[in-house]
Amino acid sequence: MSAVEILKLDQLVFHPWVAQTPRTVPAFVGGDGSYLVDDTGRRYLDFSSQLVFTNVGHQHPKVVSAIKQQADRLCTLAPIWASDVRGDAAKMITDVAPAGLNHVMFTNGGTEAIEHATRMARIHTGRPKLLAAYRSYHGATTTSINLTGDHRRWATDTGSAGVVHFFGPHLYRSAFGSRAPTEECERALAHLEQVIALEGPSTIAALVLESVIGGSGVIPPPPGYLEGVRDLCTEHGIVYIADEVMVGFGRTGEWFGVNHARVSPDLMAFAKGVNSGYVPLGGVLVSDSIHETFVERPYPGGLTYAGHPLACAAAVGTLRAMHEEGLVASAARLGTDVLGPGLRELAERHLSVGEVRGIGALWALELVRDRDNRDPLVPYAATGPAAAPMAELGAACLERGLIIFVFGNRINVAPPLNLTDAEAADGLAILDEVLSLADEHVA
Ligand SMILES: Cc1ncc(COP(=O)(O)O)c(C=O)c1O
């Protein structure tokens, strides 16, 4: 099928997050490792891991073969029955999870994981409210989109979801006027403590927090912040829900983002990297004490395809590949030796780069019109012509065979964890070229 035919068929598809006008995007028909291949055979380097989920790259043979083997044995099975492959996946997930998270509720993706984690927390505590950070994304279903702090919430915010937002630490655009990470950490924790006190601790079921803020900024927390959040939650009987949908399973150079702080949350939502997105899968890791709540009392919720055998087989294949190929260590090395230094070097050459932030295989270049006043290259929540300078950068990368994810005034760089140094160099060289276009907007 030619690109023209594929794009014609594509008009039958209702696409999420975008206007439904006909689009001109590449038509991808194949892929391998860090590359996607279009209908003409052109190869594109995938510096986005799609939506930050192909952690082991495209068409990893161990994952493809695990799915094929399971398809030959048993394609599908309702969640009520015992299943070897579902159990294997749960074992491999709990084996790498932080201490005390010994059970897995499977879902089909990240937003369902957040929905069920918050429902569990509300039932476990008997309390109504949820806390979440302004700079956050937690999914697109009712509770998750209301938890989401960034502008993606606005169009669907009913104001009635029982969510209270707070400011998390973000030194580059500090809400507290801080000048150093320790100061930002202390002030953000003091602010959170006040929010909890003034909302009334006995009304708060859970605090939901991305362990590294992903889509809303790529913001690793300062040392001490997650520990402080853990302590506040423990002190007030609030369930700490870590959202590890984007950063779980190696993305930050540890199995989970919370491992950098050595804290254990009460519930942990995951998806994406658990099986590199080859078949939809997500879930909630459940602590022993919350599991206890549901030992005699049925949990009021479930999903027809929860723990789907093909998705669980993909998880087993992915996690096996990650262990055998040392991909968590690869992600850490990408951050310290390759992407971190490479992106900082770009910042030295391009005045449009206000800040380089990231960890492991998750990075962002925050683009500005003026380094001194940090005026963003496009305004917050910009769309249409106002967002054009950033959209042009995405298009310029694509023209040069590089897929990046542009969001707000940021270029996000999140390649597969097994990206080679040569591939990294190719992608960075294209970014170097394209950033000259951004520099033209600098005052
Ligand atoms: C941190 C975080 N939480 C939740 C979600 C929602 O996951 P899904 O799109 O699989 O529903 C996402 C998706 O990008 C995410 O990045």
At 322-352, the pLDDT tens digits run 999 999 999 999 999 999 999 999 999 999 9
Atom from ligand 1 closest to the CA of residue 271: 10
pLDDT value for 60: 98
pLDDT value for 346: 98
Of the given ranges (14-28, 210-224, 253-267, 327-341), which has the lowest mean pLDDT? Answer: 14-28
CA 282–ligand 1 middle distance (angstroms): 10
- The answer to whether 27 and 6 have CB atoms below 8 angstroms apart is yes
The protein residue with its alpha carbon nearest to ligand 1, atom 8, reads 110
pLDDT tens for 49-92 read 999 999 999 999 999 999 999 999 999 999 999 999 999 999 99
pLDDT value for 179: 97
Site to probe by mutation for ligand 1, drawn from 52, 135, 137, 144 as the one with most ligand atoms within 8 Å of Cβ, is: 137
- The answer to whether 352 and 384 have CB atoms below 8 angstroms apart is no
CA 305–ligand 1 middle distance (angstroms): 18
CA 155–ligand 1 middle distance (angstroms): 18
CA 373–ligand 1 middle distance (angstroms): 32
CA 231–ligand 1 middle distance (angstroms): 26
pLDDT tens for 414-426 read 999 999 999 999 9
Give me the half-sphere count of Cα atoms (radius 13 Å) on the Cβ side of residue 399. 8
- What is the distance in angstroms between the CA of the first residue and the CA of the last residue of the chain? 46
pLDDT value for 24: 87
Residue 136's φ and ψ, nearest 5 degrees, are -160, 155
CA 269–ligand 1 middle distance (angstroms): 9
pLDDT value for 195: 98
Site to probe by mutation for ligand 1, drawn from 153, 216, 272, 284 as the one with most ligand atoms within 8 Å of Cβ, is: 272
Mean pLDDT for 228-243 is: 98
pLDDT value for 120: 98
What residues contact 32, with CB distance under 8 A and at least 6 apart? Answer: 57, 58, 59
pLDDT value for 22: 87
User: Is the Cα torsion angle 225, 231, 236, 238 positive or negative in sign?
Assistant: positive
pLDDT value for 241: 99
pLDDT value for 154: 95
- Rounded to whole angstroms, how far apart are CA atoms 178 and 175? 8
**368 forms bridges with which residues in the sheet?**
376
Q: Residue 353 burial (CB < 10 Å; 0-12/13-18/19+)? A: buried
Atom from ligand 1 closest to the CA of residue 112: 11
The protein residue with its alpha carbon nearest to ligand 1, atom 3, reads 138
CA 116–ligand 1 middle distance (angstroms): 14
Site to probe by mutation for ligand 1, drawn from 114, 246, 270, 276 as the one with most ligand atoms within 8 Å of Cβ, is: 246
Site to probe by mutation for ligand 1, drawn from 50, 111, 216 as the one with most ligand atoms within 8 Å of Cβ, is: 111
Q: At 160, is the pLDDT very low, low, confident or very high (cuts 50, 70, 90)? A: confident
- The answer to whether 402 and 427 have CB atoms below 8 angstroms apart is yes
Mean pLDDT for 171-197 is: 98
Mean pLDDT for 216-221 is: 97
- The answer to whether 55 and 416 have CB atoms below 8 angstroms apart is yes
CA 85–ligand 1 middle distance (angstroms): 24
- Residue 413 tokens read as 């760089």
158 pLDDT higher than 90: no
Mean pLDDT of the chain: 97
pLDDT value for 317: 98
* Nearest alpha-carbon partner for 248 in 301, 156, 174, 315: 315
Q: At 23, is the pLDDT very low, low, confident or very high (cuts 50, 70, 90)? A: confident
| pLDDT > 70 fraction of the chain, expressed in percent and rounded | 100
CA 186–ligand 1 middle distance (angstroms): 28
pLDDT tens for 360-410 read 999 999 999 999 999 999 999 999 999 999 999 999 999 999 999 999 999
Atom from ligand 1 closest to the CA of residue 141: 11
- Rounded to whole angstroms, how far apart are CA atoms 112 and 141? 8
pLDDT tens for 289-303 read 999 999 999 999 999
The protein residue with its alpha carbon nearest to ligand 1, atom 13, reads 139
Mean pLDDT for 141-165 is: 94
CA 270–ligand 1 middle distance (angstroms): 9
CA 151–ligand 1 middle distance (angstroms): 15
The protein residue with its alpha carbon nearest to ligand 1, atom 7, reads 110
The protein residue with its alpha carbon nearest to ligand 1, atom 10, reads 110
Mean pLDDT for 196-215 is: 98
Name residues contacting ligand 1 (CB within 6 A). Answer: 51, 109-111, 114, 137-139, 210, 214-215, 243, 245-246, 271, 282
- Residue 219 tokens read as 């913001």
39 pLDDT higher than 90: yes
421-439 vs 388-399: helix axis angle to the nearest 10?
140
